[in-house]
Amino acid sequence: MDFRIALIKGDGIGPEIVDSATKVLDKIGEKFNHKFNYVDLIAGGVAIDKYGHPLPEETVKECLKSDSVILGAVGGPKWDNLPGELRPERALLGVRKALNLYSNLRPAKLYKALQQYCPLRTASSFDILIVRELTGGIYFGERGRRNTENGVEAYDTESYSVMEIERIGRVAFEAARKRNRKLTSIDKANVLESSRLWRETMHKLKEEYKDVEYSDMLVDNAAMQLIRDPSQFDVIVTSNMFGDILSDEASQLTGSIGMLPSASLGEGTLGLYEPIHGSAPDIAGTKKANPIATILSASMMLRYSFNLIEEADAIDNAVEKALDIGYTTSDIGGNLNTDEVTQKIIELI
């Protein structure tokens, strides 16, 4: 089978880690008789430098013509002083919006080989899937500044419709059915009206999924429970901002942010796959970057966009073997560089 994959390598370490992912995909193609064709596109800080805008129209058009998209990372201190609409991160929001990718899947798993790097002394193992709503909420609500008698006032509006809540809820319930059939919905229903609608909608939806154990949790309690006992969670579903914060918190419990992949999905099979870490410009070009999050993001692409389950399992198993043997970068105690870790994973496939 042939697949067309758009590559947005981005800034900082982005090009290095995307190259690692494509090398692994090429090995999968060789082993399982697939052909992955790559289209290099530009977005983020490098696009600002070249075109004066973080997301060229041509990049969006080419993404829409592709079977899926892999993104490295965007941003860096070089562009920190730009106005909000011109910051590199707007490219990421723009791609998600243009492709109508409303659900973000962020696994957080503590591998046995990395337990010593977990900051929790009592953690043994956990495997959590955070399902984050991606195109609604405070990040996309009405915003602005206005003059008041107390000076300038800034505002951002959190809003959700029943449709937006219901469709992300279904993604989460279906994901729970494929895992341990346990779903925790996280909101702030004791304060926010948008969260009260969120909870009402989720309660109606749970009647269709009686085979899934469902519970509600307030976001402040959820932040505490992730530290107290992360193993209590299976699938978590929550709003855009809460999901952004909690998934980063969960990532730190895995031993390294360099381990966490993500998938952004919509109604069809076209998805955006990326590591959750940033562009790390301080180590760009040094080959110190951990490529595993991006390699696992490519595995998620095989699984969720292409339904190539055996191929995805081959990558996941090779990564776990590499960790068990100790083929790792310095962030998780190893002494191999980006290319060497990539090559070891390829050899283990």
What's the CATH code of the domain at 226?
3.40.718.10
Residue 38 falls in the annotated catalytic set: no
3-state secondary structure of 68: strand
Q: Are residues 342 and 281 in the same domain?
A: yes
Are the C-beta atoms of 207 and 259 separated by less than 8 Å?
no
- Residue 343 belongs to some domain of the structure: yes
* Residue 187 is among the residues annotated as catalytic for this protein: no
Which residue range is the domain that position 19 belongs to? 1-101+260-349
Among 9-13, 24-28, 123-127, 233-237, which stretch is predicted with the lowest mean pLDDT?
A: 123-127
> What pLDDT, in 10s, does the model give residues 5-59?
999 999 999 999 999 999 999 999 999 999 999 999 999 999 999 999 999 999 9
Cα–Cα distance for residue pair 125/232, rounded to 1 Å: 10
End residue of a domain, out of 220, 253, 286: 253
pLDDT digits (tens, 9 = 90+) for 278-318: 999 999 999 999 999 999 999 999 999 999 999 999 999 99
On whether both 79 and 140 belong to a single domain, the answer is: no
Residue 328 has pLDDT above 90, yes or no: yes
Q: Is 339 marked active-site? A: no
Specify whether 288 is catalytic. no
Q: Which two tokens stand for residue 72?
A: 């490295």
The CA-atom distances, in angstroms, between 95 and each of 60, 88, 176, 204 are 7, 12, 27, 31
Q: Which residue has the higher pLDDT, 122 or 257?
A: 257
What is the mean pLDDT of the segment spanning 100-116? 92
Q: Give yes or no for residue 92 having a pLDDT over 90.
A: no
In a domain, 106, yes or no: no
On whether both 204 and 151 belong to a single domain, the answer is yes
Tell me if 94 is assigned to some domain. Answer: yes
Torsion angle in degrees (nearest 10) through CA of 132, 135, 139, 141:
-130
Q: Same domain, yes or no, for 92 and 137?
A: no
Model confidence, pTM = 0.89
Overall number of domains in the chain: 2
Q: Is the pLDDT of residue 141 over 80?
A: yes
Residue from 127, 216, 248, 339 carrying the catalytic annotation: 248
Same domain, 154 and 240: yes
125 with 242, same domain: the answer is: yes
pLDDT at residue 149 above 90? yes
Q: Looking at the structure, do residues 52 and 72 belong to the same domain, yes or no?
A: yes
Q: Are residues 226 and 284 in the same domain?
A: no
Active site residue 220: yes
Of residues 11, 187, 244, 331, which has the active-site annotation?
244
Select which of 9, 27, 109, 188 is catalytic. 188
| 108 lies in some domain | no
From CA 236, how far away is CA 215, in angstroms rounded? 10
Residue 340 has pLDDT above 80, yes or no: yes
> What percent of the chain is modeled with pLDDT above 90?
85
The catalytically annotated residue of 38, 51, 117, 139 is 139
- Of 207, 225, 253, the residue that ends a domain is 253
Residue 275 lies in a domain: yes
Q: Do 129 and 20 lie in a common domain?
A: no
Alpha carbons 97 and 93: distance in angstroms, whole number: 6
pLDDT at 80: 87
- The residue count of the chain comes to 349
Q: What is the pLDDT of residues 162-204, one digit of tens each?
A: 999 999 999 999 999 999 999 999 999 999 999 999 999 999 9
* Catalytic residue (choose from 40, 49, 156, 220): 220
Assess whether pLDDT exceeds 80 at residue 124: no
- Taking the mean position of all CA atoms in its chain, how far away is CA 210? 28
Domain stops at, among 201, 227, 253: 253
